[in-house]
Copies of this chain bind each other. A is one copy, B any other.
Amino acid sequence: MKLPYSLFLFAGLSFAGNVERWGVFEAALQGPSAGNPYLDVRFGAHFRLAHRVVDADGFYDGSGTYRVRFMPDETGEWTYSTFSNVDALNGKAGAFTAVAPSPGNHGPVGVRHVSHFGYADGTPYVPIGTTCYAWTHQGDRLEEQTLLTLRTAPFNKMRMCVFPKSYTYNANEPVFYPFDRDANGKNDLTRFNPLFFQHLEKRIRDLQALGIEADLILFHPYDRWGYASMPAEANDRYLCYTIARLAAYRNVWWSLANEWDLVKTKTLADWDRFFRIVQESDPYGHLRSIHHSKVMYDHSKPWVTHVSIQGSDLEESRNYVAQYKKPVIYDECKYEGNIPKRWGSISAQELVRRFWLGTVNGTYVGHGETYLDPNDILWWSKGGVLHGESSKRIAFLRKLLEAAPAEGLDNLSTYYLGAGQEGRYYLFYFDANQPAEYEFSLSPKASYHADIIDPWEMTITPVAGIFTGKFTLKLPGKPYLAVRFEKAREGTSE
């Protein structure tokens, strides 16, 4: 049974009857606007492909409009039927065709090879994240500038808060508030503000168009509006509403919190419940993590898909991979900058060093930038433009990692910091060490080309010869260099 397309509304999307695989299908229906639709109305749809059924919650978008979104993960003829406790929204049926994705649409990112990531279409994904916590709360002018910066920046993940931020260098009011407020600024936590969420969605789509994952922080402690201290039922409703709105965007990740242990109004049991709510509400199983300040969450809990770390111990970061058997991302290893805070004043060299230390430990590292600004526009929170020296070196690293084996780089138990895939690819980082020569021990089952890499100067210098097994290589005797070995093609000779 195929229904006429006139039944469907594809609000804000550029396609008509066809939806890309991992694109967003959206159906909009008119329903009641009286009472409190956020509390009173249940609405959603069953999406079907042959005998498979996926349920998606819908949401009220204001002005009597109800929407349900769906991200088809398979091509084919999908049908759906709505369900609701309101007649006008119940039992409406429709269909659409999920077609092959356009170039650049690789689907959502998931965990691959234990401690690495990949897109749903099989393309490897190497997270090279940055952080602009409150960038969506700065008004269009600055937000557009941030997007312009991101167009040429090396980042494919953005760590960002749903709620606005109140903190040092963050004194400004947001443009939109997530809940209705009265003239005195008192929140009505039972009524969401559709404009707030429509704006957030727009920015998530903007990031998607740039190939950037939105690592959405659902709660954080930096608050003066009351969003960090809502009662349990408001928190839970907020999670369900947010997930109903956003889960169909393929580039969304759920970060339960920034510095969860600094949110003094919530218990560990609350965080466990939030994880369960997110897991139960999200039909697509987007990535889930939680970020700490001093007290680490138990990342071995089954709902945690990857380990989000605040820390500077990149030299030892392989231990977390060994412990959790999950991907490890140092989302916060301190920021390049010059503010009078220890977390916001490491040199570009030090941040680049940390990226490399994380890499050869088989983990991933995030960028952030905090240079003093007369208008308090620090990239780390508000976005804008980059002033630092690390991002171009991070771009160099990203290119290098994206040319590495698709399985990712696993830490190797070698004397120097090294990662790779045995017999195929090795990357060693010498950190503050400056040996004039070094004995390497690679799998003798293959032969390798060698390159000496200067992560700061961004040079890759091939070494003459083909190497295998145990051998000693002369090195430049300069600190912070790396050496890469790649398997030589069959028949290659010196």
Contact = CB atoms under 8 A, between A and B. Distances in A.
Interface string A385-422: 00000000000000000000000000000011000000
Contact of A433 (B342, B415, B435): B342
Contact of A346 (B416, B432, B438): B432
B345 A433 contact: yes
A476 to B, nearest CB: 10
A439 interface: yes
A434 B340 contact: no
B472 A432 contact: no
A37 B177 CA distance: 93
Copies of this chain present in the complex amount to: 2
A298 B94 CA distance: 74
Interface in A208-243: none
Contacts of A349: 432, 479
B350 A472 contact: no
A301 B436 CA distance: 41
Contacts of A416: 342
A347 interface: yes
A477 interface: yes
A338 B372 contact: no
Interface string A456-477: 0000000000000000100001
Interface string A253-275: 00000000000000000000000
A434 to B, nearest CB: 5
Nearest to A416: B342
- Most B C-beta atoms less than 10 A away, residue of A372, A435, A436, A472: A435
Interface in A283-298: none
A479 B350 contact: yes
B346 A415 contact: no
A40 interface: no
Interface string A353-367: 000000000000000
A371 to B, nearest CB: 8
A341 interface: yes
A339 interface: yes
B434 A338 contact: yes
Contact of A435 (B340, B436, B439, B477): B340
A188 interface: no
Contacts of A345: 430, 433-435
A436 B337 CA distance: 9
B372 A434 contact: no
B435 A339 contact: yes
B340 A437 contact: yes
A350 B432 contact: yes
Nearest to A350: B432
Contacts of A438: 340
A132 to B, nearest CB: 21
Nearest to A338: B436
A415 B341 CA distance: 8
B372 A342 contact: no
Contact of A436 (B339, B415, B432, B437): B339
B479 A439 contact: no
Contacts of A433: 342, 345-347
Nearest to A344: B435
A24 to B, nearest CB: 43
- Most B C-beta atoms less than 10 A away, residue of A340, A342, A346, A477: A340
Contact of A347 (B338, B437, B439, B479): B479
A416 B438 CA distance: 36
Interface of A: 337-342, 345-347, 349-350, 372, 415-416, 430, 432-439, 472, 477, 479
24 contacts: A337-B434, A338-B434, A338-B435, A338-B436, A338-B477, A339-B436, A340-B435, A340-B436, A340-B437, A340-B438, A340-B472, A341-B415, A342-B415, A345-B430, A345-B433, A346-B432, A346-B434, A346-B479, A347-B433, A347-B434, A347-B479, A349-B432, A350-B432, A350-B479
Given A338-B434, A345-B433, 9 more contacts: A338-B477, A339-B436, A340-B439, A342-B415, A342-B416, A342-B433, A346-B434, A346-B479, A347-B434
Q: Which 3 A-B pairs have the closest CB atoms?
A: A350-B432, A338-B436, A347-B479
